[in-house]
Amino acid sequence: MNQKTKVAVAATGVAAGLVARELYLRSKEEDISGSTVLITGGSRGLGLALARRFVREGCHVAICARDEEELARASADLSRRARRGAVSASHRDVMTVRCDVTKRADVEQMIEDVEARWGRIDILVNNAGLIQVGPIEAMTIGDFEDAMAVMFWGTVYPTMSLLPAMLARNSGRIVNITSIGARVGVPHLVPYTCAKYAAAGFSEGLRAELANTGVTVTTIAPGLMRTGSYNAAEFKGDHEAESAWFSVSSSMPGMSMDAGRAARQIVSAVKRGDAEKVLTTPASLIAKLHGVAPGLTEDLMGLVGGLVLPKPGQNRHSKPGWSLPNLKSPKMRALLMLGRIAARRLNQRMA
């Protein structure tokens, strides 16, 4: 057997192994058509991509957000997709609820409204998030409080409100969208990282405690995704420099993942009841390295941050990405081409 034949045989074997693995994973996926899904932060970005995917799976989908105009646009989008779907109309419906997940009363009222319409909630996706980008010198105690309110308490409130009903019927799925920032500390994203670490701890502890109850908990740890989220991010310090590195990083292929692809992988993990799913190859590599050598990983993050990230600044005034003129320059528009496409598709307010 010559060298070329050996390579061809090896490649065929690898391909066959990948196909077999994919078929095996699909065989473990349960049918969720007809289930009721509640997605927090579902009016744009990854939340909207997930809502579209669950609609495609034949689910009733409720999304919540604080912005009524965003919700109206998202509702129209999802309703069109539901009408076009191949699934029976009785198995797909869309509902929007204005809710601030940092307020416990709002959350409890939202759950009551969704249950009044469909009887129960089968799948909860805690996705609401807040991104604050900038050096630690520019951050305030309020920034940490805001991050924890949205991404920790905004995960705890819906979960604890729904959990008694799920336990009573011995079924339910809880999906917590955390981040690679919940695996390794990321410079210039410290409040975000803190809140995501807390949410991941809650999610992992919850799964362990709910084993054998019929309620499954899945922790999702995405890396950078092309959702156009840089438009909604809040920037501090050197606004232009901070927005430039973050927006380009979250728009470039290879560094970031398409939101639709991410949503497909997340929904598949939910259907299998996976414990966790780390999205994007760079994020997976960083998470594995941190698990083996956490000190080295943090030192490397600090080294890379010192070389790439903007110099520290103490400007504590925050500006959203959509308001920054530097993101509209010809050079940035070229670099952000995929990010801008994602932003338009995923209902983001753009610069």
Q: Is the CB of residue 333 less than 8 Å from the CB of residue 251?
A: no
User: What are the residue numbers of the active site?
Assistant: 192
**Distance between CA atoms of residues 237 and 313, nearest Å:** 5
Please give the angle made by the CA atoms of 97, 102 and 103, to the nearest 5 degrees.
Answer: 75
Residue-by-residue DSSP string for 274-323 = -SEEEESHHHHHHHHHHHH-HHHHHHHHHHHHHHHSPPP------EEGGG
pLDDT of 5 reads: 57
Write down the pLDDT at residue 311.
Answer: 87
The span from the CA of 78 to the CA of 312, in Å, is 42
Please report the pLDDT score of residue 82 as a whole number. Answer: 83
- Per-residue pLDDT tens, the chain, 351 aa: give them: 666 554 455 445 544 443 444 455 556 689 999 999 999 999 999 999 999 999 999 999 999 999 999 999 999 999 998 887 644 454 568 999 999 999 999 999 999 999 999 999 999 999 999 999 999 999 999 999 999 999 999 999 999 999 999 999 999 999 999 999 999 999 999 999 999 999 999 999 999 999 999 999 999 999 999 999 999 999 999 999 999 999 999 999 989 999 999 999 999 999 999 999 999 998 999 999 899 999 999 999 888 888 889 988 778 899 999 999 999 999 999 999 999 999 999 999 987
* Rg from Cα positions in the chain: 21
List Cα–Cα distances, 275 to 220, 226, 272, 345, in angstroms.
Answer: 9, 24, 9, 30
Cα–Cα dist 121/165, whole Å? 9
How many beta carbons lie within 10 A of that of residue 114, not counting itself?
22
Q: How many residues does the chain have?
A: 351
The CA distance from 26 to 272, in Å, is 8
pLDDT at 19: 43
Q: 26 pairs with which residues across the strands?
A: none
- Look up the CATH superfamily of 31-345: NAD(P)-binding Rossmann-like Domain (3.40.50.720)
pLDDT (0 to 100) of residue 14: 45
- Measured CA to CA, the distance from residue 347 to residue 42 in angstroms comes to 10
Distance from C-alpha of 52 to C-alpha of 43, rounded to nearest angstrom:
11
Per-residue pLDDT at 304 = 83
DSSP 32: -
Q: Where are the domains of the chain?
A: 31-345
Q: Mind giving me the DSSP string for 143-186?
A: HHHHHHIIIIIHHHHHHHHHHHHHHHHT-EEEEEE--GGGTS--
Whether pTM > 0.85 for this model: the answer is yes
